[in-house]
Chain A
Amino acid sequence: MKLLEVRDLRVAFPTADGVVRAVRGVSFSVEAGRTLGIVGESGSGKSVSTQTLMGLTPGAQVSGEAWFDGQDLLAMPERQMRRVRGAQIGMIFQDPLSSLHPHYKVGWQIVEMIREHEPDTGKAAARKRAVEMLGLVGIPQPDRRVDDYPHQFSGGMRQRAMIAMALALHPKLIIADEPTTALDATVQMQILDLMRRLQREFDTALIMITHDLGVIADMADDVLVMYGGREAEVAGRRTLYYRPHHPYTVGLLESVPSAPGVGGRLKPIPGQPPSLINLPSGCVFHPRCEYVMERCRVDEPPLREVVATEPAPGEEPAGALPGGDLPRVDLRRDGTHRSACWLPHTAVGLDAGVAAARRAASEAADAGAGAAEDADGAEPEGGER
Chain B
Amino acid sequence: MTAEAAQDDVLVSVEGVVKYFPIKQGIVFKKEVARVHAVDGVDLKVRRGETLGIVGESGCGKSTLARCVTGLYPVTAGRITYDGEDITGFSRSRMKAFRRDVQMIFQDPYGSLNPRRRVGSIIGDPFAIHNIADGADRKKRVQELMELVGLNPEHYNRFPAEFSGGQRQRIGVARALALKPKLIVCDEPVSALDVSIQAQVINLLKDLQDELGLTYVFIAHDLSVVRHVSDRIAVMYLGKVAELADAPALYEQPRHPYSAALLSAASIADPDEAERAERIILIGDVPSPIDPPSGCRFHPRCPKAQERCVAEEPALVVRDGDAADHLTACHFPVEPGDDLTRAHAGISQESTAPALPEATT
Q: How far is the CB of B2 from chain A (nearest CB, A)?
A: 18
In the complex, A382 has a CB within 8 A of chain B: no
Asked whether B196 lies within 8 Å of A251 as measured between CB atoms, the reply is yes
Question: Are A257 and B202 closer than 8 Å at their CB atoms?
Answer: yes
In chain A, positions 101-139 with a C-beta closer than 8 Å to chain B are: 135-136, 138-139
Residue pair B196, A252 in contact (C-beta under 8 Å): yes
Residues of B within 8 A of A72 (CB): none
Residues of A close to B271: CB separation below 8 A: 217-218, 237-238, 241-242
Could you tell me if A268 and B200 are in contact, using CB atoms closer than 8 angstroms?
yes
A217 and B281 contact, Cβ closer than 8 Å, known pairs A41-B194, A211-B195, A268-B197: no
Contact of A217 among B194, B197, B269 (CB under 8 A): B269
- Note all chain A residues with C-beta closer than 8 A to B221: 184-185
> A79 near B: Cβ within 8 Å?
no
A189 contacts B269, CB within 8 Å? Answer: no
Closest B residue to A42 by beta carbon equals B194
Contact A262 B227 (CB under 8 A): yes
B337 at the interface (CB under 8 A from A): no
- Is B76 interfacial (CB-CB < 8 Å)? no
Q: Which residues of B contact A135 (CB under 8 A)?
A: 354
* Contact indicator A214/B274 (Cβ below 8 Å): yes
Q: Smallest Cβ distance from A5 to chain B, in angstroms?
A: 25
In B266-297, the 8 Å CB interface with A consists of 266-274, 279, 281-282, 284-286
Given A217-B267, A266-B202, A136:B357 Cβ within 8 A: yes
Q: How far is the CB of B204 from chain A (nearest CB, A)?
A: 9
Check if A266 sits within 8 Å of B269, measured CB to CB. no
Question: B19: shortest Cβ distance to chain A, in Å?
Answer: 21
- Which of A189, A194, A217, A272 is within 8 Å of B270, CB to CB? A217
Find out whether the CB atom of B199 lies under 8 angstroms from the CB atom of A140.
no
Residues of B within 8 A of A139 (CB): 353
Cβ of B57 within 8 Å of any chain A Cβ, yes or no, is: yes
A160 nearest CB neighbor, chain B only: B353
Residue ID in chain B nearest A267 by CB atoms: B199
Cβ-based interface call for B95 (8 A): no
Contact B223 A185 (CB under 8 A): yes
Are B361 and A201 in contact (CB-based, < 8 A)?
A: yes
Q: How far is the CA of A238 from the CA of B222 in the complex (A)?
A: 23
| One of B196, B262, B356 near A186 (C-beta < 8 A) | B262
**Contact in complex: A156, B248 (CB < 8 Å):** no
Q: Is the CB of A217 within 8 A of B282?
A: no
Chain B residues, Cβ within 8 Å of A259: 227, 251
Contacts of B262 in A (CB 8 A): 185-186
Contact A257 B200 (CB under 8 A): no
Q: Looking across the interface, which residue of chain B has its beta carbon closest to that of A256?
A: B269
Chain B residue nearest to A269 in the complex (CB)? B196
Q: Among the interface residues A42, A194, A198, which one has the most CB atoms of the partner chain B within 10 A?
A: A42
Q: Does A99 contact B (CB under 8 A)?
A: no
Per-position 1/0 for A169-212, Cβ under 8 A of B:
00000000000000011111110011001101110000000011
List the B side residues contacting A215 at CB < 8 Å: 267
Looking across the interface, which residue of chain A has its beta carbon closest to that of B359? A201
Instruction: Please state if B265 and A189 are interface contacts (CB–CB under 8 Å).
Output: yes
For residue B209, CB closer than 8 A to chain A, the reply is no
Inter-subunit contact A184/B164 (CB<8 Å): no
Whether B261 and A263, one on each chain, are in contact in the complex, defined by CB atoms closer than 8 angstroms, is: no
A258-B269, A272-B167 known; A136-B285 Cβ under 8 A: no
Partner of B279, one of A156, A189, A261, A268: A189
Q: How far is the CA of A268 from the CA of B227 in the complex (A)?
A: 17
Q: Are A140 and B359 in contact (CB under 8 A)?
A: no
Minimum CB–CB distance from B76 to chain A (whole Å) comes to: 25
Q: Chain B residues near A273: list those with CB within 8 A.
A: 164, 194
Contact between A272 and B164, CB atoms less than 8 A apart:
yes
**A348 interface residue (CB < 8 Å to B):** no
With A217-B270, A272-B164: A138-B356 Cβ-Cβ less than 8 Å: yes
Partner of A262, one of B228, B282, B350, B353: B228
Task: Assess whether B351 is interfacial by the CB under 8 Å rule.
Answer: yes
Q: CB-CB < 8 A to A157: which residues of B?
A: 285
Give every chain A residue within 8 A of B194 (Cβ-Cβ): 41-42, 211, 273
Complex alpha-carbon distance, A116 and B194, angstroms = 38
A186 to B353, CA, bound (A): 14
Q: Are B225 and A257 in contact (CB under 8 A)?
A: yes
Residues 51-91 of A contacting B (Cβ, < 8 Å): none
Asked whether, in the complex, the Cβ of B228 is within 8 Å of the Cβ of A213, the reply is: no
The reply to whether A257 and B228 form a contact with Cβ atoms under 8 Å apart is yes
The answer to whether A187 touches B285 (Cβ under 8 A) is: yes
Give Cα distance in the complex from A277 to B75, angstroms.
Answer: 49
CB-CB contacts below 8 Å: B182-203 with A = 194-200, 202-203
CB-contacts of A258-286 with B (<8 A): 258-259, 261-263, 265-270, 272-273
B residues near A202, Cβ cutoff 8 Å: 361
Question: Which residues of B line the A interface, CB within 8 A?
Answer: 57-58, 164-167, 194-200, 202-203, 206, 221-225, 227-228, 247-248, 251, 261-262, 264-274, 279, 281-282, 284-286, 350-354, 356-357, 359, 361
- 9 residue pairs from A and B, CB less than 8 Å apart: A41-B194, A140-B284, A185-B222, A187-B285, A193-B279, A201-B361, A214-B269, A266-B202, A273-B164
Known: A140-B351, A253-B269, A257-B227. 18 other contacts (CB 8 A): A41-B196, A41-B197, A138-B354, A140-B352, A184-B221, A185-B267, A186-B261, A193-B279, A200-B359, A211-B195, A212-B267, A218-B268, A256-B199, A257-B224, A265-B206, A268-B196, A269-B199, A272-B164
